[in-house]
């Protein structure tokens, strides 16, 4: 249980862009009619986890208002409240042993508050067995237990689990909401905030990752390498990409986003964001998208990432070269 996760809790009025979900939760707090299980569904980085923590914070507070001053609030904010249980994947999945351990703890009386609170920030990672075991707790929960499950999409969960939960949808933020938040709360410069708001698809979490992990700089390196086609640069880039590790899928999404923006503006359907690398030749875009899509699947398999990207980057460099030649030499014109 890391203390940093608790910094995610904010007073409701500071959570941006999720008015519907917040209205439902606020009304539950006011009326005291709290559901036994909620399912927060929506893209990553739009406030699902923050809202879950904030809701729990209200429930634990002596005044029910997340005052930040009472003893339960202080414990909660320090990440040491004994009635809050957070179930994260152990390795890649949440396993049945974890659910059994949780069940045992839920059989005990709440230690300090009227509630036992359970958060599953990545409910998709429940194994089938773990999901079935959790279902029992959801069907006959110990009194005064509140579950919040968080998932990107409900189809990834057992339908029986979904049907036990009150479903709240979380939506991507608007570009202007992202921009304002980045400047006000995360002290980004206005130009950077504006650029990131273009690339993050409404997810503040994604905007922050792109900014903090330097992935945009890597995209520039990617474009420079593919367009030059120099073997030594390609070898370097394959190494760099392999070293991205768990950030590699996010980087590939950024590459796709760049290609899509290029496509949209080449069709005259939107402006091309100035903070992106130069737009690639038209003939490159669609086929490159297909290659990158395939890379996502390849990453799932247990292969040598560096070798895989070496071959992918070589293929992309060839594709770029022939797309550029086709632009310079229109079809039908004789080669000289």
Q: How far is the CB of 74 from Zn ion (least distance, A)?
A: 8
Which of these segments, 65-73, 134-142, 265-273, 275-283, binds Zn ion (CB under 5 A)?
A: 65-73
Q: How far is the CB of 208 from Zn ion (least distance, A)?
A: 28
Long-range contacts at 24-27 (CB < 8 A, ≥ 24 apart):
24/166, 24/168, 25/51, 25/55, 25/168
Q: How many C-beta atoms lie closer than 10 Å to residue 318's C-beta?
A: 12
315 interacts with Zn ion by CB under 5 A: no
Among 22, 28, 61, 94, binds Zn ion (CB under 5 A): 61
Q: 15 vs 70, which CB is nearer to Zn ion?
A: 70
Q: How far is the CB of 112 from Zn ion (least distance, A)?
A: 12
Q: How far is the CB of 105 from Zn ion (least distance, A)?
A: 23
Beta-carbon contacts of 301 under 8 Å, excluding residues fewer than 6 positions away, are: none
Direct distance between the N- and C-terminal alpha carbons of the chain, in angstroms, rounded to an integer = 67
d(CA 300, CA 306): 14
Q: Which of residues 66-85 bind Zn ion (CB under 5 A)?
A: 67, 70, 73
Q: 14 vs 327, which CB is nearer to Zn ion?
A: 14
Q: How far is the CB of 73 from Zn ion (least distance, A)?
A: 3
d(CA 244, CA 218): 10
CB 76 within 8 A of CB 7: no
Q: 60 vs 276, which CB is nearer to Zn ion?
A: 60
Q: 71 vs 156, which CB is nearer to Zn ion?
A: 71
In b/e form, how buried is each residue of 207-233, taking b as 16+ CB within 10 angstroms? bbbbbeeebbebbeebbebbbebeeeb
How many residues interact with Zn ion (rule CB under 5 A)? 4
Which of these segments, 12-20, 56-64, 93-101, 216-224, binds Zn ion (CB under 5 A)?
A: 56-64
Q: 73 vs 161, which CB is nearer to Zn ion?
A: 73
CB 237 within 8 A of CB 214: no
Q: Which residues pair with 149 in a beta bridge?
A: 39, 120
Q: 37 vs 61, which CB is nearer to Zn ion?
A: 61
Pairing mode, if any, of strands 37-41 and 145-151? Answer: parallel
Site of interaction with Zn ion (CB under 5 A): 61, 67, 70, 73
């Amino acid at each position: 249980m890391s203390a940093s996760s608790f910094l995610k809790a904010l007073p409701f009025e500071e959570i941006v862009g999720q008015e519907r979900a917040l209205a439902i939760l606020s009304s539950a707090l006011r009326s005291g009619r709290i559901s036994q299980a909620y399912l927060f569904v929506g893209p990553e980085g739009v406030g699902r986890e923050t809202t879950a923590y904030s809701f729990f914070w209200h429930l634990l507070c002596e005044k029910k208002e997340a005052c930040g001053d009472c003893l339960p609030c202080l414990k909660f904010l320090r990440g040491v409240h004994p009635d809050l249980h957070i179930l994260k994947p152990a390795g890649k999945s949440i396993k049945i042993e974890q659910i059994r351990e949780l069940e045992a703890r839920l059989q005990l009386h709440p230690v300090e508050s009227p509630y036992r609170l359970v958060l599953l920030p990545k409910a998709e990672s429940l194994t089938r067995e773990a999901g079935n075991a959790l279902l029992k707790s959801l069907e006959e929960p110990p009194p005064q237990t509140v579950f919040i499950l968080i998932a990107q999409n409900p189809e990834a969960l057992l339908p029986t689990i979904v049907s036990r939960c009150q479903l709240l949808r979380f939506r991507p933020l608007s570009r202007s909401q992202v921009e304002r938040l980045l400047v006000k709360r995360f002290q980004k410069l206005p130009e950077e905030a504006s650029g990131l708001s273009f690339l993050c698809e409404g997810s503040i979490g994604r905007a922050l990752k792109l900014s903090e992990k330097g992935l945009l700089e890597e995209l520039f390196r990617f474009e420079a390498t593919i367009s030059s086609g120099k073997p030594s640069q390609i070898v370097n880039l394959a190494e760099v990409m392999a070293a991205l590790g768990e950030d590699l899928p996010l980087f590939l999404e950024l590459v796709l986003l760049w290609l899509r923006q290029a496509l949209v503006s080449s069709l005259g359907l939107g402006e091309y964001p100035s903070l992106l690398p130069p737009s690639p030749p038209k003939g490159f875009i669609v086929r490159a998208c297909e290659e990158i899509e395939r890379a996502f699947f390849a990453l799932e398999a247990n292969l040598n990432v560096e070798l895989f990207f070496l071959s992918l980057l070589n293929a992309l460099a060839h594709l770029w070269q022939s797309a550029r030649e086709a632009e310079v030499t229109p079809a039908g014109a004789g080669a000289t």
